[in-house]
Amino acid sequence: MQIHQILPTLSPGDAIGNEVLEIRKILRSWGYKSDIYAQNIHPDMAKFAKIFTEYKKISSPKNILIFHFAIGSEVSEFVKNLDDKKIIIYHNITPPNYFKGINDTLVHLLINGRKELKEFSNITDLALGVSAYNEKELIKIGFRNTGILPILLDFSLYDQEPDKKILNRFGQDNMTNIIFVGRLAPHKMQEDIIKIFYYYNKFIEHRSRLILVGSYGGAEIYYEYIRSIIKQLHLDNVYITGQINFRELLAYYGVADIFVSMSGHEGFCVPILESMYFDIPIIAYKSSAIPYTLEDSGILVNKKNYIAIAEMINMVVNNGELKKKIIKKQQERLQYFHRSNTEKSFKHYLDSIISTIK
Amino acid sequence: MEEKVEDTFEIKDSEVDIKDIERQIQDNIIDRKKLGAYSTDVEDIIKRPLLPPPDMSSQNRTDLSSHMKGINSNWDIRAEYKISSHRPIIGRLLVWGRKLINGEVKRYVDLLIGRQSEFNKRTVSILSDFNNKIDDFNNKIDDINNKIDDINNKVIDINIKVNNTDSTNNISGADKIYGNMNYFIFNELFGGSNEEIRINTEQFLDFFLGCNNVLDIGSGRGIFLELLKEKGIKGYGIDTNDDLILYCKRKDLNVQKDDVMTHLKKLNNKSLDGIFISHVIEHLKYEDATYMLKLCYEKMQYGSYMVIATPNILNMTVSSNTFYTDPTHVAHIHPEFIKFLLGTYRFRDIQERFYQPTLKDQMLKKVDNIDSLNDEQKKIYEIMNHNIDILNNLLFGYRDYAIIAKK
């Protein structure tokens, strides 16, 4: 028996791509033959994956195929017609309306994604959401055998040397660094963080900066909007990093005093786990999967009261006791996502499907 | 902005009193306001939402045609039904009674219902006419838009033709480009050896793995096409030089004689899954280059890559000397400009790659073995070596660069 993975796009530095590599590592360590198949393979990832149509050659009812689902693609139609045992790992589909007028191709793919996912509800042996929120969606769509498998992260990678240039640039001047990590996109609502920062920077702590870490590829219209709002609010200390490498990412976490998310839609939100790992207190808007990922840690925001959130940032940054308590809770929550726990659940789910193969 | 802080936050920690924190925040806001904070002249910007809320989208608006279908099949409210009963014995009596009542009521109701149905019929007929007219108008608007597109394309063609008659520097007019020069021999002598080009081109192959329809614009000696073929990637080239085309055909490579604009325009949108443009863009005028890249975007499939290679004008030896070896070169193209342009065309993951370093022995030499010198001499030589590094980079840096972009 072989256990392989298939997905529409494999690119470096992206949460799904990282997880796919981790799962392959685990499956191989358990002795399974395991490869990755994808439709779009970023050149840097070419050595890790094969073109998805190649899978046809080894497809068998005795194989398990793990399909990572987050967007519509030709891969769906391809997988649908295979006789392999199928496990879907659902990373969530962003509601298409967020991208109307920003990226119409993406709107089309997201709409198709929802239709395609529904078609899998009767032909999938097991559907796993990366969060309780995602599992709920799967159940609503009509999947019967469902479960939760949080994203697998290899935190040993995070112990690399961070980029020195960034540490020197942003970490030496005692300014308060507020960060958000995630690609610039309408559903991540970076404009709300900017508005909060406006109040914080103008009226509470002038010696502060906001760093929005993430690429803006595919959402250039939104990027222009964000730039215009920064200009209209006369903010000098907002930095949009664009695409960065992993060591640069580590450096941004290294200089951060607080992580603020106002995102309206997240399937899991890996940066929250990363902030937990780097002991950065988290303030996040209570939407989609955020309450699941934070559980009883961090600070959840129920309503976007910009001034109150700016004051809360000030309180967390300057009140050592409060900050310590928040970080302690976050460390406890991070234990839940410990690799060994997630690996155990994965094994349990996998065994349940293996036992059905004759 | 006078929003209450209460219930804004949740902290699920028994050691933290969130109510108390919210009270403190409320007090802080009041104190700061007393000192003049939070009054702002940009409140309208703060309050303005970015985009319409998701449920305002057209996706959720009820479809006009489904409304029309509904009223077309429901306008007639006159009802005819058979009076019957399933009861075997008293059924007859029931039927008789119902018929009697129905007859009495029907006499008055039919008049009203008949009039209402007549009114409905006319209203539906008017609405259907309007709906058909809207469809007609929409079709006409589409026709007009198509015609405008055609006219725009024709204007562009005319501009290109006018430019060709004015200038000898346009790829569209092959004969005009090369004049009386044998470009094939020139390219052999000054365009680098096949082996050298092959080594430099190989690095871009990864962007085209698994592709089925890659276009090599300005395929020249067909080295990129050969590499594609070796990797089993399907692709073809276009060029305007007869000698180069013949050369490629002898190597059994798929090459067509066509100029880039004409060729791109006749392709279906989203028909290419990769484009390679090596040492072409510097032969084009600004307006042609930008138009070509725009067309490339339209013809590419989502997720496919384009690679544009050109002389690195950041290297001053290139920009002030070797660039002019080829008289058909038209413009210095700065990498930042291409990146900006591709961004505006909505290309994603735009990256640059510098390659073809100048040979070491052609660069300014640094002073070696300075360790044996005394501190003062060492310091002078260190400064000198540092300056040589800067100059070498400026004068003898990489000779080519490529911009890689994803649709």
Compare all CA atoms of chain B with the CA of A53 and give the residue at the minimum distance: B210
- Check whether B126 has a pLDDT greater than 90: no
pLDDT, position B88:
73
With an 8 Å Cβ cutoff, are A220 and B302 in contact?
A: no
Which chain B residues are Cβ-neighbours of A204 within 8 angstroms?
A: 32, 37
CB of A245 closer than 8 Å to CB of A214: no
Decide the pairing of beta strands B214-217 and B9-10: unpaired
Residue in the structure block whose two tokens are 């339209």:
B298
Higher pLDDT, B169 or A64: A64
pLDDT, position B81:
60
With an 8 Å Cβ cutoff, are A233 and B8 in contact?
A: no
With an 8 Å Cβ cutoff, are B38 and A203 in contact?
A: yes
- Local confidence band at B98 (pLDDT 50, 70, 90 cut-offs): confident
CB proximity list for A266: less than 8 A, separation 6 or greater: A92, A287, A288, A289, A290, A293
- Check whether B55 has a pLDDT greater than 60: no
With an 8 Å Cβ cutoff, are B303 and A9 in contact?
A: yes
SS (H, E, C) B343-372: HHCCCEEEEEEEECCCCHHHCCCCCCCCCC
- Local confidence band at B40 (pLDDT 50, 70, 90 cut-offs): confident
With an 8 Å Cβ cutoff, are A46 and B10 in contact?
A: no
- Measure the N-to-C terminal CA separation of chain A; round to a whole number of Å: 11
- Check whether B118 has a pLDDT greater than 90: no
Q: List % helix, strand, coil for chain A (3-state, nearest 5).
A: 50, 20, 30
pLDDT, position A224:
85
CB of B207 closer than 8 Å to CB of B404: yes
- Check whether B134 has a pLDDT greater than 60: yes
B174-215 tens-digit pLDDT: 444 555 666 667 666 667 777 888 888 999 998 998 899 999
> For the residues B90-109, what does the mean pLDDT come to?
81
With an 8 Å Cβ cutoff, are A186 and B51 in contact?
A: yes
Angle at B156 between CA B155 and CA B162, to 5 degrees: 90
Higher pLDDT, B56 or B234: B234
Q: Which of A41, A302, A314 sits opposite B209 (nearest CB)?
A: A41
pLDDT, position B58:
37
pLDDT, position B59:
37
B369-400 tens-digit pLDDT: 888 888 888 889 889 988 998 898 889 889 99
Half-sphere exposure of B34 (CA within 13 A, CB side): 5
With an 8 Å Cβ cutoff, are B3 and A303 in contact?
A: yes
pLDDT, position B57:
35
Residue in the structure block whose two tokens are 């015609």:
B147
CA distance B133 to B126: 10
Burial annotation A152-168 (CB, 10 A radius, 16+ → b, else e) = bbeeeeeeeebbeebbe
> Which conformational region is residue B218 in: left (phi greater than 0), alpha (psi within -120 to 50 degrees), or beta?
left
**CB contacts < 8 A (A, B):** 124
Which helix (H) or strand (E) segment holds residue B307: the answer is strand B300-311
The whole-angstrom distance between A354's CA and the closest CA on chain B is 32
- Check whether B170 has a pLDDT greater than 50: no
CB of B220 closer than 8 Å to CB of B239: yes
| Residue count (chain B) | 407
Strand partners, B275: B215, B306
Give the tokens for residue B64: 């006009």
CA neighbor of A246 nearest in space, from A333, A156, A342 = A156
pLDDT, position B349:
86
CB of B407 closer than 8 Å to CB of B303: yes
CB proximity list for B406: less than 8 A, separation 6 or greater: A217, B303, B304, B305, B306, B347, B348, B349, B350
Q: Which of A199, A308, A325 sits opposite B15 (nearest CB)?
A: A325
The whole-angstrom distance between B404's CA and the closest CA on chain A is 11
Which helix (H) or strand (E) segment holds residue B289: the answer is helix B286-299
> For the residues B329-340, what does the mean pLDDT come to?
91
pLDDT, position A82:
95
pLDDT, position B46:
80
> For the residues B121-126, what does the mean pLDDT come to?
84
Compare all CA atoms of chain B with the CA of A297 and give the residue at the minimum distance: B12
Give the tokens for residue B193: 């050896």
B232-289 tens-digit pLDDT: 999 999 998 888 888 888 888 999 999 999 999 999 988 999 999 999 999 998 888 9
CA distance B335 to B402: 8
pLDDT, position B73:
66
How many helices and strands (H and E) does chain B possess? 14, 8
Q: Tens place of pLDDT for every residue, chain A, 358 residues?
A: 899 999 998 987 778 888 999 999 999 999 999 999 999 888 888 899 999 999 999 999 999 999 999 888 889 999 999 999 999 999 989 888 888 777 777 888 888 888 889 999 999 999 999 999 999 999 999 999 999 999 988 888 899 999 999 999 999 998 999 999 998 988 999 999 999 999 999 999 999 999 999 988 777 788 888 998 999 899 999 999 988 989 999 999 999 999 999 999 999 999 999 999 999 999 999 999 999 999 999 999 999 999 999 999 999 999 999 999 999 999 999 999 998 899 999 999 999 999 998 7
Alpha-carbon dihedral B188, B192, B193, B195, rounded to 10 degrees: -140
With an 8 Å Cβ cutoff, are A303 and B8 in contact?
A: yes
- Check whether B105 has a pLDDT greater than 60: yes
Compare all CA atoms of chain B with the CA of A100 and give the residue at the minimum distance: B57
Q: Which of A51, A303, A307 sits opposite B29 (nearest CB)?
A: A307
**pTM given for the model:** 0.56
CA distance B340 to B350: 9
CA distance A219 to A254: 27
Compare all CA atoms of chain A with the CA of B33 and give the residue at the minimum distance: A203
